[in-house]
Amino acid sequence: MKGRILLKKLHITIGYDILMVDWTGDQTKESVMDGCERMLFYLNTYKVSKVLNDNTHVTSIWDDASKWVAVDWFPRMHLAGCRLFAWVYSPNLYSKLSTDKSLSYGIKGVIATTFDSKETAMAWLIAMT
């Protein structure tokens, strides 16, 4: 992870220049909500507008949190200053479907785009000014 590490837990690592988030392992509704709230805290604290949300290491479905992510958390991320959200898919089909389900609710105010690789996601964030 590039930049400064702000938090390292079993299920999530958060760092920033661009707020960089690396989710790890099986995710539950509770771990997703906890990790998202921590991301929001750091977004507010460090006033960054770009997030690289890496699900490469996620190994499970988390669709029971999908609606909450879209209709509760993303609007608060927008209010905190998030403008660009690069979401790297997990290779796990069920995790990928959970991501797509979140996005299917519609995200307002934040440009949320999915990627198959962290490198492509980072290049997109850097190119967007």
Q: What is the pLDDT of residues 50-88, one digit of tens each?
A: 999 999 999 999 999 999 999 999 999 999 999 999 999
The residue to which tokens 């290491």 are assigned: 57
Q: Is the pLDDT of residue 123 over 90?
A: yes
- Residues 4-24, mean pLDDT to the nearest whole number: 86
The residue among 86 and 128 whose pLDDT is bigger is 86
Would strands 19-25 and 111-115 be described as parallel, antiparallel, or unpaired? Answer: unpaired
| Single-letter code of the amino acid located at 51 | V
Q: Given this structure, which CATH class describes domain 4-127?
A: alpha beta
Tell me how crowded residue 96 is: count the other CB atoms within 10 A of its CB.
17
- pTM, 2 dp: 0.88
- Residues 111-126, mean pLDDT to the nearest whole number: 96
- How do the domains of the chain map onto residue ranges? 4-127
- Residues 33-49, mean pLDDT to the nearest whole number: 95
